[in-house]
């Protein structure tokens, strides 16, 4: 649990866990059901993370608070920062404004998408730890934009490099997509005060990144940048 009050709950989702039931039946084990069972009350998702992505995800205790939170996302009042490990180095700062497919089901229908990237650190002069700030919320936006830059995310089985993914599995035991919803800031739906969340890296990311020499505390998962 990263944050909770009588309105909101924010948790640190592990990679490989879906936010809610989708096309695949995972035996009822989702973020939604885990939080519901932990709190012994019904809860409601206000946004989603891809199954392979870890990090901060927000829920609310009452359905009346879903719409105000979703409106904050739509009105760009929510600041989201992700961490990614890429094959290839990006410039110190770069913004990608590149239309991408609306969904997997409608690949020919493209929609506006914009993401700002910042390079945080470099490994072996070939890989980069990157902060991504999506200004729009499109399907696989960060993954697609980094692939567009020819700097795909390590562990990405859709848009990445199979050879590099295998290399990082063998060298560092890294068996997941290296994409983490790291920082999350938004106005509280009731009193309007800004809530700032920082989601530590979970061990399946913290340990491999620390082994690469990135400034990550392998115990706490905190990144010092």
Q: Write out the DSSP string of 19-76.
A: SS--SS--TT-SHHHHHHHHHTS--EESS---TT-EEEEEEESSGGGHHHHHHHHHTT
pLDDT higher than threshold 90 for residue 189 = yes
Q: Which residues pair with 119 in a beta bridge?
A: 130
pLDDT at 204 over 70: yes
Q: What are phi and psi of 203, to 5 degrees?
A: -55, -35
* Segment among 6-15, 28-37, 159-168 with least mean pLDDT: 28-37
Per-residue pLDDT band for 105 (boundaries 50, 70, 90) equals confident
Distance, in Å, from the CA atom of 54 to the CA atom of 202, rounded to the nearest integer, reads: 8
Q: How confident is the model at residue 21 (pLDDT cuts 50, 70, 90)?
A: confident
Look at residue 185 and tell me whether its pLDDT is greater than 90: yes
Question: Is the pLDDT score of 22 beyond 70?
Answer: no
The mean pLDDT value of the chain amounts to 94
* φ and ψ at residue 134, rounded to 5 degrees: -75, 130
pLDDT value at position 109?
87
Radius of gyration of the chain (CA): 17
Residues catalogued as catalytic: 50
Quick one: residue 34, left, alpha or beta (phi over 0 = left, psi -120 to 50 = alpha)?
alpha
Which is higher by pLDDT, 85 or 22? 85
Q: What is the pLDDT of residue 102?
A: 82
CA dist 213 and 126 (Å) reads 14
pTM (predicted TM-score): 0.94
């Amino acid at each position: 649990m990263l944050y909770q009050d009588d309105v909101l709950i924010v948790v640190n989702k592990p990679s490989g866990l879906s936010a809610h039931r989708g096309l695949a039946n995972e035996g009822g084990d989702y973020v939604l059901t885990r939080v519901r069972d932990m709190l012994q009350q019904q809860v409601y998702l206000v946004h989603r993370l891809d199954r392979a992505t870890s990090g901060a995800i927000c829920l609310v205790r009452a359905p009346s608070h879903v719409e105000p939170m979703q409106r904050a996302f739509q009105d760009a009042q929510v600041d989201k920062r992700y961490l990614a490990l890429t094959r290839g180095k990006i410039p110190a700062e770069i913004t990608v404004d590149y239309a991408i497919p609306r969904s997997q089901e409608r690949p020919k229908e493209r929609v506006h998408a914009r993401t700002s990237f910042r390079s945080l650190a470099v490994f072996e002069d070939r890989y980069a730890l990157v902060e991504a700030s999506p200004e729009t919320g499109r399907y696989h936006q960060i993954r697609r934009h980094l692939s567009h830059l020819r700097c795909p995310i390590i562990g990405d089985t859709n848009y990445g490099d199979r050879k590099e993914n295998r290399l990082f599995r063998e060298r560092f035991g890294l068996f997941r997509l290296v994409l983490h919803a790291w920082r999350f800031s938004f106005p509280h739906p009731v009193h309007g005060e800004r809530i700032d969340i920082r989601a530590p890296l979970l061990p399946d990311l913290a340990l491999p990144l620390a082994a690469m020499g990135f400034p990550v505390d392998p115990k706490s998962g905190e990144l010092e940048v």
